[in-house]
Amino acid sequence: MIPRHLEIGMGVLLVAVLMMAFYVHRMKGRAAETGVRVADTRPVAPPVAGPTEQVILYVAYDDAGLLRAQSARVPLPAGRQQRAQELLRALLGIYLDKNSPHPFPTGAEVRDVYIVDPGLAVIDTNSVLADNHRSGILVEELTIASLVRTLAANIPGINRVKILVEGKERDTLAGHADLSDFYDTLAITKASDQWAAAGQ
């Protein structure tokens, strides 16, 4: 016969083990829900001085293979070049979100935008965007079209756009979309309108 105090002790230990198993199971579920969080190592941009304005961002949707105009309120400075930078930062904010319709790699950013002459904008991205961008004709073309259309829709007079990576020319974005030439904003607008018509 087992002494009563040992039976009670075993019962308490069994209850403790069951409670611990339940606790561990809940913690694993909670960790899976939150996912792995990667630290954002991008430098913090200074606050934008300027009024908040209504703008149109052309957001790429991979599942439909098209761009959709999305209205947003973005603080914009007075200068054209600074306005262009803030517009593209707002657009990248959508793509860096975990529920993005067109996900960008973590750490991707537009380093700068230059308005070289009245009709030409040069977008300088970091190497993370290009090196870690998903490869494929459609996803690469959607990225370029999204950047170009967003600038053309919100900065009057831009009719050509050049894309650089870390301040240098590059042949392709991720193996398919040509970055060696200038993009005509009118041609990009027509192409993305055709994608939208084909997707309906």
Residues 57 and 144 in one domain: yes
* Structural domains counted in the chain: 2
* Residue 185, pLDDT score: 84
How does pLDDT run across 153-162, given as a tens digit for each residue?
A: 898 888 988 8
Contact yes or no for 192/198 (Cβ under 8 A): no
Same domain, yes or no: 59 and 23: no
Report yes or no on 39 lying in a domain.
no
The answer to whether residues 70 and 1 belong to one domain is no
Considering the domain architecture, whether residues 5 and 64 belong to the same structural domain is answered as: no
**33 band by pLDDT with thresholds 50, 70 and 90:** low
Q: Which two tokens stand for residue 28?
A: 């694993």
What's the rounded mean pLDDT across residues 36-41?
A: 52
In a domain, 38, yes or no: no
> Do 16 and 83 sit in the same domain of this protein?
no
Domain residues for the domain of 28 are 1-32
168 is a domain residue: yes
pLDDT of residue 175: 67
Please state the three-class secondary structure of the chain as a single string: CCCHHHHHHHHHHHHHHHHHHHHHHHHHHHHHHHCCCCCCCCCCCCCCCCCEEEEEEEEEECCCCEEEEEEEEEECCCCHHHHHHHHHHHHHHHHCCCCCCCCCCCCCCEEEEEEEECCEEEEEECHHHHHCCCCCHHHHHHHHHHHHHHHHHHCCCCCEEEEEECCECCCECCCCCECCCCEEHHHHHHHHHHHHHHHC
Q: Are residues 12 and 97 in the same domain?
A: no
Q: What is the CA radius of gyration of the chain?
A: 25
Average pLDDT score over the chain: 82
The answer as to whether 42 is a domain residue is no
In terms of domains, do 131 and 83 share one?
yes
Looking at the fold, whether 26 and 58 belong to one and the same domain comes out as no
The rounded distance, in Å, linking the Cα atoms of 173 and 161 is 14
Q: Are 140 and 183 in contact (CB under 8 A)?
A: no
